[in-house]
Amino acid sequence: MNSAAPTVTDIVLIGGGHAHVHVLVSLAMRPLPGLRVTLIARDLATPYSGMLPGVIAGLYRAEQAHIDLTRLAAVTGTRLIHAQANGLDRAAKRVLLVGLPPVAYDLVSIDVGIEPSLSAIDGAAAHAIAVKPIGSFLKKIDALIARACAPDGPRKIVAIGGGAGGVELLLSLRTRLIADSRAAGLDAGAFSFTLVTDGEILATHNDRVRHAFRRAFAARGMNLRENRRVRAITADTVVLEGGETLAADAVLVTTDAAAPDWFRGTGLELDGKGFLAVGPTLQSTNDADVFAAGDCAALIASPREKAGVYAVRAGPPLADGLHRRARGLQPDEWRPQRRHLALISTGERYAVASCGLFKAEGRWLWTLKDWIDRRWMRMYQDTDALARRLAGK
């Protein structure tokens, strides 16, 4: 990417999320003289959401579900800055960093995901485990699994939030705890698993998919509390609206997440929830030199749910838009598909497919999901193959 020509355009990417890993590769494939690409990343290993439940269930090793940004940056000729961005000085066109000098940009793109929103539930910040950021979540899950495999460890596990993330997470954690506790000689039957959600589970999916997961919970002896709102979490209970309490040794929160606080200081237009407002070209609605994609962005003209699949699909139009703008051209518009095929696992090598009113399930769907996920990861993990592609071999 970096050519011998003097740098004339600096593209700075903040966050190594699902869209930006594609941008690194795509820009390296079609280098422009004088273009320098910089990635500012808080975490050097970026997790791939599609494989996370599999990591928790013990079906994948953690490194299989992570992209090594140091290697990817090296192979794509990207300047990597291991730092956390906490602001934009748009007048001076600089990205502000925690503890490091600012970084100048001509074009900047933001793909930093979301932050946990624990403030909505009393006591959640003190007593619950939030799924975001995923890096620290995986460490906390490992610690929870280790504690649960001790004779006096946590047994009553409660998850709050009935989206695909929460459902898959609890099913996967159950698979893992049953296997690991048995291996440790403990009574796996002593565990209880409860999911609480304020609406129906999998609210954005069809009835048949919901029914399949209700069956999956029942078949595993797991408790499902739908249409129940959590009011508070204490050291050993989850308190529901109306006063009912559930005993809980460990609580996982996968409910709505919030936008990073620092967006508010940028002067960029935000949607009602504080996410970066972008138009169909993924450019900020009030600054054409700022792009955003993934969970942290809100597509004003075509709102979509926050899911890894949309962050992945935003990668190619984002890369094209940055490339065109760097050449002084107008970026093309992108309209993400309204429907996508979701493959949601039951915590084992079995998955349910959901798309509009369509539903199917079976082991073969997990095999398909595994194939899709591994194929996507290979593009960014197999840096030797990538280096050969970039060298035109």
Q: Give, as ranges, the residues between 141 and 180 that touch ligand FAD (CB under 6 A).
A: 164-165, 168-169
Q: In whole angstroms, give the CA distance from residue 161 to residue 226.
A: 10
Q: Which residues pair with 35 in a beta bridge?
A: 9
Stretch that binds ligand FAD, among 10-18, 118-126, 318-326, 355-363 (CB under 6 A): 10-18
Stretch that binds ligand FAD, among 111-119, 186-194, 203-211, 238-246 (CB under 6 A): 111-119
Stretch that binds ligand FAD, among 49-57, 178-186, 201-209, 380-388 (CB under 6 A): 49-57
Closest CA to 127 of 229, 237, 228: 237
CB 50 to ligand FAD: min, Å:
4
- Is residue 315 near ligand FAD by the rule CB under 6 A? no
Cβ-contact 104, 62 below 8 angstroms = no
Between the alpha carbon of residue 381 and those of residues 22, 25, 66, the distances in Å are 12, 12, 8
Structure tokens at 388: 């050969």
Cβ-contact 161, 254 below 8 angstroms = yes
- Is residue 38 near ligand FAD by the rule CB under 6 A? no
Choice from 24, 27, 36, 50 touching ligand FAD (CB under 6 A) = 50
Cβ-contact 156, 148 below 8 angstroms = no
Rg (CA), the chain: 22
Structure tokens at 201: 């589970």
Choice from 25, 27, 36, 46 touching ligand FAD (CB under 6 A) = 46
Q: Output the CA angle 133-196-229, nearest 5 degrees.
A: 100
CB 83 to ligand FAD: min, Å:
7
Instruction: Show the site string, 216-245: x = touches ligand FAD by CB under 6 A, - = not.
Output: ------------------------------
- Is residue 89 near ligand FAD by the rule CB under 6 A? no
- Is residue 113 near ligand FAD by the rule CB under 6 A? yes
Taking 3-state DSSP, the helix, strand and coil percentages for the chain, each rounded to the nearest 5, stand at 35, 25, 35
- Is residue 73 near ligand FAD by the rule CB under 6 A? no
Count of residues interacting with ligand FAD (CB under 6 A): 33
Q: Which residue has the tokens 């994948």?
A: 60
- Is residue 128 near ligand FAD by the rule CB under 6 A? no
Q: Which residues pair with 192 in a beta bridge?
A: 156
End-to-end CA distance of the chain: 17
- Is residue 11 near ligand FAD by the rule CB under 6 A? no
- Is residue 266 near ligand FAD by the rule CB under 6 A? no
Between the alpha carbon of residue 281 and those of residues 1, 278, 288, 320, 378, the distances in Å are 23, 7, 9, 10, 28
- Is residue 54 near ligand FAD by the rule CB under 6 A? no
Choice from 22, 306, 313, 323 touching ligand FAD (CB under 6 A) = 306
> In the complex, which residues of this chain contact ligand FAD (CB under 6 A)?
14-19, 40-43, 46, 49-50, 52-53, 84-85, 111-113, 131, 164-165, 168-169, 294-296, 306-309, 311
